[in-house]
Amino acid sequence: MKKLTALILGPVALVTTLITLWMGYFVTPADKVQGELARLVYIHPAQAWVALYLSFGTATLASALYLWPRTRSVTADRIAAAAVEVSTVFIALTLITGSIWGRPTWGVWWVWDARLTSTAVLGVLMLGYLALRRANDDPLLRARRSAVFAILTAINVPIVHFSVVWWKTLHQGATVFTDNRHLKIHGSMAWTLLLSFIALSLDFAWLVRARYRVGSVSAANESADLEAALEARRTEAGA
């Protein structure tokens, strides 16, 4: 089952992403108000979903499992690290596509809006997480400190989510549903938006799996190098 998943995950992620782009830019109609600019809705919200909820949620859960003695494993630590790296990439993409939308809409590439600022702060914290992992050579200490840092950083996620509710911001509110949970988007636009969430979620899964495998191979090589160095020292001592 694992081999089958590994075999089809990448191609399925690629195909769904290509179909999303094709439908979003060639099939669906332009918006009545924003025109062609509204086509960014088929990329930007799904990127934010992966960056804030899916990838960072995975990192937080994996970190919590690592800190819990009964579920502590190197697998949880590596999954958390991989998810944070993917989250960092998607946060950057979210900010970039948001700026592309904001320039013609607001007249500027960037404003210190509550949603934008809190998202940027989360991105900086993710970079801090990655720096923290590089600052510790002890794998156990690195994993423990990183897990604690990830869980504390999770406090910023609800701030990002509710920023458009708690403060008066330029960033629009909910894109898909109204306050009464009624759809704002219909027809082919709604189906394309749904497909974009599925496609980018699959992209996330493929990226995390690939990064996890790279981390596992890197750790194995480091262990082999250390064992070879120790064996060389033993040989020298015996001689």
- Which has the closest alpha carbon to 140: 76, 221, 209? 76
> Is pLDDT above 80 for 223?
no
* Percentage of residues in the chain having pLDDT higher than 70: 79
Radius of gyration of the chain (CA): 21
Contacts of residue 236, Cβ cutoff 8 Å, sequence gap at least 6: none
Report domain extents, the chain: 2-238
In angstroms, the Cα distances linking 210 to 37, 207, 222 are 33, 5, 18
Q: Which two tokens stand for residue 212?
A: 């996890």
Q: What are phi and psi of 183, to 5 degrees?
A: -65, 135
Q: Which amino acid is at 223?
A: S
**What is the distance between the alpha carbons of residues 44 and 197, in angstroms, rounded to a whole number?**
10
Mean pLDDT of 232-237: 62
> Is pLDDT above 60 for 226?
no
> Is pLDDT above 60 for 80?
yes
pLDDT (tens digit per residue) in 107-134:
778 778 888 888 889 889 999 999 998 8
pTM of the model: 0.81
**What is the distance between the alpha carbons of residues 154 and 124, in angstroms, rounded to a whole number?**
13
